[in-house]
């Protein structure tokens, strides 16, 4: 039996399967098995009010899982699935409340990854999957990140190599006639606007509040501090003098500049490469023993919107999560 068949069997038996998507690795359970869904929350250490995304094998399954599909939602699904777009819609009775954190809406998406699609097709049903990391931590973009995070608890891990997009899906509230962005991600605001034909509001990143979202999220162990590129060199020096083990995500504008720190990662100039590498860079600086990470926000257009959102949240206060 191949790994995909085995993984589908694990899901049918109520177990968990970690699997790759184009964005990040997910920790999946049969969406219709409340006990398996509950186990995801336990393993992640995630509050039960924090809703999950139901992954489907194809856009044609949408109507089985949601009660209503307004025209703009249909358009977005047709245009962007499979792909890094999640639509929030009214749930159908097929979706247990455990998966939605008690909400009457459900988040659904069709991932664009051959391993994820093979698993969904072999399994046949919907798979609820949050990112395969402990609550509030950096999302995994390789199978070894998942194993490092959960060990045996991850259940069955499907290895599909490194994720192509590297930041999570864009979440769009599509319940009404005018969709809005709840979380910027792999599909850009510009791409959504082009298809919808009108501008889309994005709440100021720091103020984004979707149910269950907390200010500190996507955070490495080290404290993350956002700085202006002109301040990087002096701030790194100051923090070192104060005894910190400083890690720096060196922005492209400082490539070749004499930055001094305990550890450094050069951020790629291309937004796509920046997004793809982001979580791995943060993990790398953690591994090098940094207790403080200095990072600069990219320009907030295209994938830069999602990158900036994750960096702001990584730098957010840690007390509530
Ligand atoms: O790219 C992704 O979206 C990855 C991969 C694995 O698909 N998944 C992911 O899941 O990022 P997770 O659980 O880490 O984040 C799901 C987000 C949560 O922040 C939650 O607040 C939001 O989706 N969400 C889920 N259901 C919702 C709903 N009914 N209304 C509003 N937000 C919802
Ligand atoms: Mg997550």
Say whether the ipTM exceeds 0.95.
yes
Within a domain: 50: yes
- The pLDDT score that the predictor gives to residue 212 is 44
Question: Percentage of the chain with pLDDT > 70?
Answer: 94
Question: Which numbered atom of ligand 1 lies nearest the CA of 46?
Answer: 13
83: closest CA among 116, 132, 130, 131? 116
User: How confident is the model over 239-253, as pLDDT tens digits?
Assistant: 999 999 999 999 999
- Same domain, residue pair 82 and 143: yes
Residue listed under structure tokens 């990112």: 131
Mean pLDDT of the residues in the chain: 93
The reply to whether ligand 1 has any atom less than 6 angstroms from the CB of 130 is yes
From CA 303, how far away is CA 29, in angstroms rounded?
29
- pLDDT of 188 reads 98
CA of 129 to the centre of ligand 2 (A): 9
Q: Is 90 contained in some domain? A: yes
What CATH number corresponds to the domain at position 307? 3.40.50.11030
Q: Is residue 164 part of a domain?
A: yes
pLDDT digits (tens, 9 = 90+) for 65-117: 999 999 999 999 999 999 999 999 999 999 999 999 999 999 999 999 999 99
57 lines ligand 1 (CB under 6 A): no
- Residue among 190, 183, 175, 230 at smallest CA distance from 210: 183
Residue pair 32/122 in contact (Cβ under 8 Å)? The answer is no
| Burial class, 209, CB count within 10 angstroms (exposed 0-12 / middle 13-18 / buried 19+) | exposed
Residues 174 and 288 in one domain: no
User: Looking at the structure, do residues 50 and 153 belong to the same domain, yes or no?
Assistant: yes
Residue whose Cα lies nearest atom 24 of ligand 1: it is: 51
Paired sense of beta strands 180-183 and 53-55, if any:
unpaired
pLDDT band at 215 (very low <50, low <70, confident <90, very high): low
At residue 21, does pLDDT exceed 90?
yes
pLDDT at residue 279 tops 80 = yes
Residue range(s) defining the domain that contains residue 73: 3-207
Whose CA is closest to atom 32 on ligand 1? 210
pTM of this structure:
0.95
Question: How far is ligand 1, taken at its centre, from the CA of residue 210, in Å?
Answer: 9
- Is 181's pLDDT higher than 50? yes
Q: Per the structure block, which two tokens stand in for 277? A: 């590498």
Last residue of a domain, one of 174, 207, 240: 207
Residue 210 has pLDDT above 50, yes or no: no
Evaluate if residue 311 carries a pLDDT over 90. yes
Q: What is residue 204's predicted lDDT score, i.e. its pLDDT?
A: 66
Domain endpoint, select from 207, 236, 267? 207
Whether residue 279 is found in the same domain as residue 188: no
Please indicate, yes or no, if residue 213 is contained in any of the structural domains: no
HSE at residue 150, side-chain half, CA atoms within 13 A, is 28
pLDDT per position as a tens digit, 145-163: 999 999 888 889 999 999 9
Rounded Cα distance, 224 and 317, in Å: 10
261 and 176 within one domain: no
Is 63 a domain residue? yes
Number of domains in the chain: 2
């Amino acid at each position: 039996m191949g790994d995909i068949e085995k993984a589908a069997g694990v899901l049918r038996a109520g177990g968990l399967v970690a699997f790759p998507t184009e964005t990040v690795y997910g920790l999946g359970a049969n969406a219709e098995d409340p006990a398996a869904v509950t186990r995801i929350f336990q393993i992640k250490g995630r509050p039960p009010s924090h809703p999950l995304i139901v992954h489907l094998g194809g856009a044609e399954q949408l109507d089985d899982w949601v009660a209503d599909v307004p025209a703009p939602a249909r358009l977005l699904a047709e245009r962007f699935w499979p792909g890094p777009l999640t639509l929030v819609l009214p749930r159908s009775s097929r979706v247990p409340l455990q998966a939605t954190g008690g909400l009457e809406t459900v988040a659904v998406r069709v991932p664009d990854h051959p391993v994820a699609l093979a698993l969904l097709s072999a399994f046949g049903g919907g798979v609820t999957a949050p990112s395969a990391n402990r609550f509030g931590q950096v999302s995994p973009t390789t199978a070894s990140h998942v194993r490092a995070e959960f060990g045996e608890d991850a259940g069955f891990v499907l290895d599909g190599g490194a994720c192509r997009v590297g930041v999570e899906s864009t979440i769009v509230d599509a319940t009404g006639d005018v969709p809005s962005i709840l979380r910027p991600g792999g599909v850009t605001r510009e791409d959504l606007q082009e298809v919808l034909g009108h501008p889309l509001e994005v709440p100021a990143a720091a103020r984004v509040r979707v149910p269950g979202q907390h200010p500190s999220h996507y955070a490495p162990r080290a404290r993350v501090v956002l700085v202006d590129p002109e301040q990087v060199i002096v701030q790194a020096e100051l923090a070192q003098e104060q005894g910190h083990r400083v890690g720096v995500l060196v922005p492209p504008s400082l490539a070749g500049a004499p930055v001094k720190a305990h550890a450094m990662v050069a951020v790629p100039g291309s937004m796509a490469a920046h997004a793809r590498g982001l979580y791995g860079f943060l993990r790398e600086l953690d591994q090098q023993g940094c207790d403080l990470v200095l990072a600069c926000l990219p320009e907030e257009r295209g994938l830069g919107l999602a990158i900036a959102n994750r960096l702001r949240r990584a730098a957010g206060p840690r007390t509530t999560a």
